[in-house]
Structure 1
Amino acid sequence: MTDAEWAVVRPLLPVPGWMRGRGGQPEAYCHRAILDAVRYLVDNGIKWRAMPTGFPPWDRVYAFFRRWRDHVLVREFHDRLRGRVRQESGRDAEPTAGVIDSQSVKADAVVGADSRGFDGGKLLNGRKRHVVVDTLGLLLGVMVTAADIGDRAAAKVLLERVTDAHHRLELVWADGGYTGSLVEHCLAALALVLAIVKRSDDMRGFVVLPKRWIVERLFAHLMRAAAWSVTSNDPPAAPRR
């Protein structure tokens, strides 16, 4: 992180237990260095044990990450960052509307057969990521399934999770793949309006559809980041010491 990024991130970090009088000891390494190490690992797709020596020891970084994951602090930190961005954009911290969609992605050979499936529509063997974003394209919820899981079946579970976490959410836009009983279920069980944005029959070629482009942009960012990490020949930036 740059100094400017750290200035934004630092006050949003979860407060360690030892600072709240709940026991434990101070971290042996600066949170900035540990977060940089986690971001480096995710960006470059390396193994924990392959962490460059310029970062804290890999086992300390992993222990930090595991503790945050097990205590749901990763989501708490992410939610605070999203709220900050929304407020700076003139929005309320909590969204009232969102967009849902899914994307099937080819699975690598090392991905077990029990966690992958064949998407007949996309003719692709792999996994499917189901996401809900707010109207700025910021992530509200995500669920990964085998690619043969239907959008409506996954959305029923994902939307329940998202509405439990975001009580002000009242409207979600979706494409034609989410029509049917799911619309009635969302209204009756979740008090959520699922608005279907359909492509008209007379449309030809690429057309930007209202609201749906927001979540499509997120998928484009994800695919671009993945492609860059695979194809870039540039050496990684020197880790912060």
Structure 2
Amino acid sequence: MAKRKPPARRRYDTDLTDTQWDLIAPLIPEAQAGGRPRKATSRELVNAILYFLRAGMGWRLLPHDLPPWQTVYYYLRRWQREGVWERVHHTLVMADRERCGRSVSPSAAILDSQSVRTADKGGAKGYDAGKKISGRKRHILTDTDGRLLCVRVHGADIQDRDGGKLPLKASRRRYPFVARVFADGGYAGRLVTWAADKTHITLDIIRRGAKAKGFEVLPRRWVVERTFAWIFKNRRLVRDYEQITAVAETLITIAASATLLRRGH
């Protein structure tokens, strides 16, 4: 008797549509020839990662109708080391800017940080005395519409004027035309001089009004806060559960890519 083909699984809300998959498929490596055949397709591996991000469970709790968690995590890390996720995100940023009538490469950006608590795991962590949070700090650079350009994660005890160097420097490879970056008062001081000397970026500090009390919406600053809100839609990112900061950066990048894929597709 011929072996029956297992029924196709039901679709999850986080699954990529055919149109969305077609946008990134050329950038996602297929299984290589030789060795033990891989049962899961590249599309299913990406779908599993997107489900994991949105649902926020542990790796071992991935549903059984998705590829095994060991396989999913292996390819998450392998494609991270090969630069696949960065290439996918960069391609989507350029395509979305073009779709909105903007120049493909941004010339201005916004810098900000967010302190989040960590799980009971090892890895870099620290205490942010200002926010009274023990954990890690996420430094992100976005364009003026809120698209993520670069993210760097480190211990929360590192001050913004020091941690801000990481995304500014890292962004030059893929976004060399960014010449002006807006940031809040926490980045004032020596980072302004460092940015001009080392990255040729003009750091424009946006300060609160002298008479401001409580919360105040600052020009351009609300854009990056909205980006953090988009990231927080993924339950896995509400805290930092990753032992390795590079994995945390990759998951944030994938979450930002998923946001771009959902726009108009």
| TM-score, reference length from structure 1 | 0.82
Aligned residue for 2:24? 12
Structure 1 unaligned residues grouped into runs of 5+: 231-241
- The match for 2:225 is 216
Does residue 197 of structure 1 match 2:190?
no
Match of 2:131 among 110, 122, 125: 122
Does 2:42 align with 1:46?
no
Note closer, same or farther for the CA distance 1:82–1:156 as it changes in structure 2 (3 Å cut).
same
How far 1:225 sits from its partner (Å)?
4.0
Counterparts of 1:228 and 1:105, CA distance in 2: 9
Match of 2:244 in 1: none
Structure 1 counterpart of 2:209, one-letter code: S
Equivalent residues, number: 224
Supply the distance in 2 between the matched residues of 1:166 and 1:229 (Cα, whole angstroms): 28
CA pair 70-215 structure 1, distance change in 2 beyond 3 A: same
* Residues 139 and 164, structure 2, Cα contact 8 Å, conserved in 1: yes
- What one-letter code is carried by the residue in structure 1 that aligns with 2:82? H
Does the 8 A contact of 1:133 with 1:141 survive in 2? yes
For 1:80 and 1:58, the matched residues in 2 are separated by 27
- In structure 2, the partner of 1:239 is none
- The percentage of counterpart residues that share the same residue type is 35
Using the TM superposition, name which of 215-224 and 139-148 deviates more. 215-224
Q: Is the 8 A contact 2:106 2:175 kept in 1?
A: yes
Using structure 2 for the length normalisation, give the TM-score. Answer: 0.75
Distance apart, 1:223 and its partner CA: 3.6
SS in 2 for 1:152: helix
Pairwise CA distance, 1:227: 9.3
How far residue 24 of structure 1 moved from its aligned partner, in angstroms, is 3.2
Q: Report the 3-state secondary structure (helix = DSSP H, G, I; strand = E; otherwise coil) of the residue aligned with 1:165.
A: coil
Return closer, same or farther for 1:73/1:42 CA change in 2, 3 Å cut-off: same
Measure, in 1, the Cα distance between the counterparts of 2:151 and 2:238: 22
Aligned to 1:233: none
1:166 aligns with 2:175: yes
| Equivalent residues in 2 for 1:57-68, closer than 5 Å | 57-68=68-79
Cα RMSD (Å): 2.6
1:183-238 Cα shifts (integer Å, max 9, x gaps): 112112211110001111112333211111111112233345439989xxxxxxxx
Question: Structure 1 pair 179/173, CA: closer, same or farther in 2 (3 Å)?
Answer: same
* 2:95 paired with 1:80: no
- Which one is further off, 191-200 or 23-32? 23-32
Q: Which moved more, 1:73-82 or 1:198-207?
A: 198-207
Distance 2:215 2:189 in 1: 26
SS at match of 2:95: helix
Separation in 1, partners of 2:176, 2:208: 30
Q: What residue is the counterpart of 1:95 in the other structure?
A: 106
For the structure 1 residues 80 and 27, does the alpha-carbon distance in structure 2 shift closer, same or farther, using more than 3 Å as the test? farther
Moved more, 59-68 or 114-123: 59-68
Distance 1:35 1:223, change over 3 A: closer
d(CA) in 2 for partners of 1:228, 1:115: 16
Which amino acid in the other structure matches residue 124 of structure 1? Answer: I
How far the C-alpha of 1:80 sits from its partner, in A, is: 1.1
Could you tell me how far 1:53 is from its partner in structure 2?
Answer: 1.6
- Of structures 1 and 2, the one scoring higher in RCO (CA 8 A, sep 6+) is 2
The whole-number CA distance in structure 1 between the counterparts of 2:179 and 2:41 is 40
C-alpha separation in 2, matches of 1:4 and 1:71: 22
Query: Partner amino acid for 2:231?
Result: L
> For residue 79 of structure 1, what is the amino acid of its counterpart?
H
Task: Return 5+ residue gaps in structure 2 as ranges.
Answer: 1-12, 240-265
